[in-house]
Amino acid sequence: MATSQRIPRTDLSVFPINLGGNTFGWTSDRQQSFDVLDAFVAAGGNFIDTADVYSAWAEGHSGGESETVLGEWLTARGNRDDVVIATKAGAHPELSGQSRDNVFAAIDASLKRLQIDAVDLYYAHFDDDSVSIEDQARTYHDVVESGRARAIGVSNYSPERMRRWFEYASAEGLTVPVAIQPHYNLLKRKDYEQEYAPIAREFDAAVFPYFSLASGFLTGKYRSTSDIEGSARKDMIDDYFSEASLSSGVDVVSALEEVATARDVEVTSVALAYLLAKGVTAPIASARTTDQLTAVMAAASLDLDDAEVSRLDEASAPFA
């Protein structure tokens, strides 16, 4: 498996694991976040994903906590040129939506918290039906032209609106998104494989899926609803228990364990390696502690064979 992946139409090469920053300043305190970031870079990682809204959902938080911690780490380490930083706009409580004014205010606020001059990849985080795709495409083009971002991506948009963005930007000579960030994992296959993967292929876009480990479900540590009681991620994990039957999800975890045992690796590594085998550029995975990071990073060098992929395809067929 390649040790780095080029983001199309850029000069950015990224490690095939994208470190999720949603834990920074939330379930990971400042020192834990610094430790995870240090360990990630020491292991060869260079691609870090955050968003201006992280972690506004937590009690007492207002958004921007993750970017603030990441910015402090970048400044403390003096390694801005060695890492690729992605962040997002559209969901911060004070700058919700994709109006031009909101987006430019959001990028300026993000750059201040990150303590950098430009982000490498800037996502439209969530769609805003009140703003046409054409206007959004022009706004994000202008963000790049202003020097605040080097490239753009699109995250939680319908397939129709996402495709329209690519088509319009291509036709009008605007900045074309270089990446999409879909919800994709072994328990969430159908939408990506049927709707979003064709867009990525047609327009040569990198794919950086979020919830790659189904909010921890695919690490094998949750087997029943009682297992998630008291977890900071309970609301996110509840979605997997409610969207499909628990037994089907456990069947997937059992298949992951079969492969992991045969390979003498962790379940987490296999779940991420599956996505890489499916052609994604770099799955996003977060780690609250450095102990959790080891299995995440191991996925980059784990090549699943056709039989192993087929076994996981079969087990996750109810979700495809």
**55: preceding bond cis by omega (within 30 degrees):** yes
| Token pair 């799955």: residue | 283
Q: CA 314, CA 320: separation in Å to the nearest integer?
A: 10
**Token pair for residue 173?**
């000579």
**DSSP strands (E only) in the chain:** 5-6, 13-14, 18-20, 47-49, 84-89, 91-92, 95-96, 121-126, 152-156, 179-180, 206-207, 284-285
Is 210 noted as a catalytic residue in this protein?
no
Q: CA 97, CA 126: separation in Å to the nearest integer?
A: 8
Tell me which of 54, 196, 210, 240 is the catalytic residue.
54
Query: What is the distance in angstroms between the CA of the first residue and the CA of the last residue of the chain?
Result: 25
Q: Is the dihedral of CA 106, 109, 114, 120 positive or negative?
A: positive
Strand 284-285 versus strand 18-20 pairing type: parallel
**If DSSP codes are grouped into helix, strand and coil, which group holds residue 319?**
helix
* Cβ partners under 8 Å of residue 31, min gap 6: none
Q: Which residues are catalytic?
A: 54
